[in-house]
Every structure is written in C-alpha cells, then in structure tokens.
A and B are shown apart, each in its own frame.
Chain A
C-alpha cells in the first residue's frame, strides 16, 4: 500500500515535470539522428547497427535522467522526510523504478516502431527489440538509480556516475545486442529473454539492499 502511494506521488511529480520526459525523448531521438549522420545513409549498414545504437542511447539517457529523479528529492529534503514518515527504503526505490519505467520507457514502445521504419527493420527484429527493452530496462533503471544514489552527494565529479555504472551495464548490453558468437548466436532468442529475466532477478534484491544501505548512509 505504501509503495502504491509513493508511485502515485512520483507519477504526479513526473506529470508536473513533463519537460523532463520531453527532454528524455528528444535526447533519444536526436542522438539517434546524430548516429545516423555518423554511420551514413546506407540502410543496410544502419540496419545492422540500429539495435546497439538504441541500447547505447537508452543507457546514456537513463543515466542522465535518473539523477533528476533523485537529486531534487534529496535537495529539498523529501528523501529524508519520506523515510521519516515511515516509508521503507525499498518502497522508495521500487516506486522510483516503476515510475521511471512507466514515464520514460513506455513512450519508447511507440517511438521505436515509428523510427524503425526509417532503418528498414523487419517486424521480427522489432518485436524482439521491444521485448528486450521491456525485460532488460528494469535492470538498467535499478542500476542507474543505485549509481545516482552513490554519487548524489558528490558535487564536483558527476562523470564518476558513468564510471561506476558502466561495468554493470556490460552484461545486459552484451546479451541484449547478442554481439558475441556462441551459445546465444546459435540458439533461439528465448535463451536471451531468460538470461535477461535472470539478470533482473539478480539485480532486484541486490539493488534494494544496497539502496537501503545508501539511503541510510545519506541521511546520517
């Protein structure tokens, strides 16, 4: 029940701060455009790099935006207040993750199919990409939230967030883009989905536990 109240609060705040959602989507689309200019107009080439590009852009966008979801709450004291009111640290993190997913990722299920037309994507690849985003993004959001929490008190070095977070993104990026030969390449995509679910199941308890520890440390 507590978590639901927090989710409602976060959704309200996100709707009020609609500019952030707009900036996120604009950043996504503009980056895609820049990559396109970089790679060149050859559709065949663009088609091969389209999926990795999407994942890289989403990753950067999530890292940049996750800070906004926490920083304002930290600066105006809401984070401390929520804990004081009795909301558990886990529910704070879960609510932020759910809302980030709903507000930032969901629009991509409409945006990506539209843009995929420009990159000559076939329906099967598009379906697979959407499924990967659907399953893979919660892990990415959880990790980026933890990195934001870790660096929330650092004013000077924000690049540190990227340094901390990158190693944890690698397995997810590897499995979602399937760049490597071997077990994934030769077998059905179902393996990939199961691995992504596995990553999420590993990430969830660890990030919740870590988030609780960091939130307690922040409010000391």
Chain B
C-alpha cells in the first residue's frame, strides 16, 4: 500500500490533487484556532493572559517531535527498502522540523519570562528540545555535506534512526528529572489536566499546524523531485 503511493510520479499527482484542499483546511483551522485562542478561551487563573502562547508553543513542540519521528520512519524505509521518496522526504522534513523546534524554544522563552521569571533555564525538557535542534542541524548538514546526494541521503537516514533514541529521553525527561517544567498536561493514558475550554483551541491550532506542515512538506518534496529530474537531465546532457 505504502509503496504503491510512494512512487515519485504518483506522489506528484496525488499531492497536486490534495494541495489545494490542505491549503483551505489550513486557512480555516488557523483562523478559527486563533479566534478560539484569543477570544473564546479564558485566561489562566495563575498565569493570566500569557497562557495564550500555549496555543502556539505546544503544537510547535508536538510537531518538532512528530516530524523527527517521521524522519526516522523515512530513514527506516530508506535503509531497509531503499526507497528514493523516503530519502527525499528526509531532506524535505528536516528543515521544517528544525523551524518548529526553534519556534518552540523561542515561544517557550517568551512564555517562561513572565511565568518562571527567566528567559531560559537548563531544565530537562528545554535542554532536550535544544538537543533535538542539534539533531536536526546534524541531519541537515550531513545530508548536504557530500557531493553525491544519494550518499548524503543514506547517511542522514542512518543518523535519523540513531537519533530516534533521543526522543523517548525527551518525552520522559520531565518524569526523570524533577525540574521547573510542568509535567505533561495532555496524556493518552490518563484524563488531561487541562480544561476543555482550553483543550479545544489547542487541538484546532494543532490541526492547522498539521495542514501547514503537510503543505510545506508537499512543496519541498515536489521541488526536490523536480530538482533531481533536472540534475539527471543535466548529467545526461554532459555525458
């Protein structure tokens, strides 16, 4: 099933069809999410209005982790099944993941100043997020360090697979090290400690980030596929 759709040409066709829908979904969910976040959710009893940064910060943090997981999955497919589209996807997703990580760190700092009284603390989760950024930087640099793109792709895939070990450390770091950062408020295994009035805008914003990510990934994969086609044409011209 995956291989059927993972063909580059088929991907281009499917993405061409899906892209406008994703755009519309993104716009609707983003506008609605912002409205809910700013006008339809209450300020926190302790943090006041500053809590609203959560609606950007938390989805960014989720996506920084999620995109890394997807890179690792692509890495697995690239190494085991030697699928070109998986290589291209790693190149496409890594800079986006890095951007989400930077956004998480910046919004976290802005949130931290009024809440904790400081822009930055060497707290476990903050540090892990910073480490994640370096993992992204490593993958991006490694994939671009070789003259041969395929070699860079292979090495980046390997690095992403090893880096996945770091993800559980980030996830459970709050439990391991009892530090400033609040424990996870929304968990799959227990009822969330966040009120529904705040939970709904958060999920709408997450949805909008999902469509935004999909859009950007589609654009980046598309341009990478086209770039590779141009490279092949150029090399055949030289030969």
The residues of A with any CB-CB pair to B shorter than 8 Å are 146, 150-151, 153-154, 156-157, 160, 163-164, 166-168, 170-171, 180-183, 202, 206, 210, 213-214, 217
Known contacts A146-B162, A154-B145, A210-B162; decide if A167 and B138 are in contact (CB<8 Å): yes
B142 near A180 (CB under 8 angstroms)?
no
Chain B residues within 8 Å of chain A by Cβ, number:
28
A163 near B141 (CB under 8 angstroms)?
yes
Bound-state CA distance A210–B161 (Å) is 9
Give chain B residues whose Cβ lies under 8 Å from the Cβ of A154. 145-146
Which partner residue on chain B sits nearest A183 by CB separation?
B176
17 sampled A-B residue pairs with Cβ under 8 A: A146-B162, A150-B159, A156-B145, A160-B138, A160-B142, A163-B141, A164-B142, A164-B159, A166-B134, A168-B163, A168-B165, A170-B131, A171-B166, A180-B124, A180-B177, A181-B179, A182-B178
Known contacts A150-B155, A167-B163, A167-B166; decide if A213 and B79 are in contact (CB<8 Å): yes
Min CB–CB distance A127 → chain B (angstroms): 25
B169 at the interface (CB under 8 A from A): yes
The contact of B141 among A146, A157, A213, by CB within 8 Å, is: A157
Give chain A residues whose Cβ lies under 8 Å from the Cβ of B199. none
B71 at the interface (CB under 8 A from A): no
Known: A151-B142, A182-B178, A210-B158. 20 other contacts (CB 8 A): A146-B162, A150-B142, A150-B158, A151-B145, A153-B151, A154-B145, A154-B146, A156-B145, A157-B141, A160-B141, A160-B145, A167-B166, A168-B162, A168-B166, A180-B177, A180-B179, A181-B177, A182-B179, A213-B158, A217-B154
B58 at the interface (CB under 8 A from A): no
B137 at the interface (CB under 8 A from A): yes
Min CB–CB distance A9 → chain B (angstroms): 27
B217 at the interface (CB under 8 A from A): no
B98 at the interface (CB under 8 A from A): no
Which partner residue on chain B sits nearest A153 by CB separation?
B146
The residues of B with any CB-CB pair to A shorter than 8 Å are 79, 124, 127, 131-132, 134-135, 137-138, 141-142, 145-146, 151, 154-155, 158-159, 161-163, 165-166, 169, 176-179
Give chain A residues whose Cβ lies under 8 Å from the Cβ of B137. 163
Bound-state CA distance A152–B226 (Å) is 30
Bound-state CA distance A217–B131 (Å) is 27
Give chain B residues whose Cβ lies under 8 Å from the Cβ of A151. 142, 145
The contact of B134 among A153, A156, A163, by CB within 8 Å, is: A163
Bound-state CA distance A199–B141 (Å) is 26
Bound-state CA distance A170–B130 (Å) is 11
Min CB–CB distance A2 → chain B (angstroms): 24
Which partner residue on chain B sits nearest A199 by CB separation?
B165
Give chain A residues whose Cβ lies under 8 Å from the Cβ of B169. 171
Bound-state CA distance A153–B124 (Å) is 35
